[in-house]
Amino acid sequence: MAIRVATHLNIPLKILDLRKEYKERVIDYMIGEYQINRTPNPDVMCNSKIKFDLFYDYARDELGADFVSTGHYARVDQEGNLYKALDESKDQSYFLATVDKEVLKKVRFPIGDLIKTDVRKLAYQFGLPTDNRPDSQGICFVGEAPLKEFLQKYIDLVPGDVVNLQGEKVGTHYGLTLYTIGQRHGFNLSISDKAPSYVLSKNSEKNELVVGGRGELKVKSFKVAAIDDISEVKNLTVRIRHLGECVPCEIEKTASEGVYIVRLKRPMESVAPGQIAVFYKNDLVVGSGFIEN
């Protein structure tokens, strides 16, 4: 598609081969997280470790570029502060929250101030071959293959028991790696309960998948690691998944350096260790961290 667009616009196209670095920085990270039964976010790592690191350096040092521009739905100011996109239904600030602020000073997001329908209209007006292209979905390097098929190449999947909160066996699973908090499909239940069961946690020591009702997914607090100290910032909200609800919260330091407790003003569902929690003050991204538990 990039070749078609460049040809249409009559502009040069340079292709940078970063497959080796992508494997080391994104795929290996993803596999490592799955191996310890966490839920990784490869899109976040791709942005911070590839697009706005290696690619940015290449554009600056080899091409002499003053700025790097991408098609992300987000906004940035001259100081490198990151904001939600005007079109919040397409906002990608969550995926960009770990990008270095010094890099963001030299980044431009031209469609961050537009809504998606207007972007498509502009693409149509300029005759771009992307005007009707579907939005990208899923993990780009996995392609059409199911995640289970991809992971089996790298991780031994060990089946085990599904248990309820009382520790009673209620079914079987195909390997803890395949499940994330809040998931309600992909495991076998031996009980005939009309109410759906959701993944509540994963017990790696016993190789057990713990399930329960949807109400038991809600939490009032969780821990995050590797964030800047924003515990003094007031009127924060937190988002724990792409386009997820931003919930008002407060942050407290713990005795462990770099680890904080996030106390929610109202409960959130399906808080998954390994995912990124992004903190906002209105539309401004003020910090982020990995969810620990």
Q: Which sequence positions are flagged as catalytic? A: 46, 140
Q: Which amino acid is at 156?
A: D
Tokens 């961290």, located at residue: 289
At 91, phi and psi to the nearest 5? -55, 130
Q: Return the number of other C-beta atoms located less than 10 Å from residue 21's C-beta.
A: 15
> Are 178 and 148 a contacting pair, CB within 8 Å?
yes
Q: Which of 251, 165, 252, 179 is nearest to 216 (CA)?
A: 165
Q: Return the number of other C-beta atoms located less than 10 Å from residue 53's C-beta.
A: 18
CA distance linking residue 54 with residue 46, whole number of Å: 10
At 225, phi and psi to the nearest 5? -130, 160
CA distance linking residue 171 with residue 149, whole number of Å: 22
**Token representation of residue 246:** 């931003």
Task: Tell me which DSSP letter residue 50 carries.
Answer: I
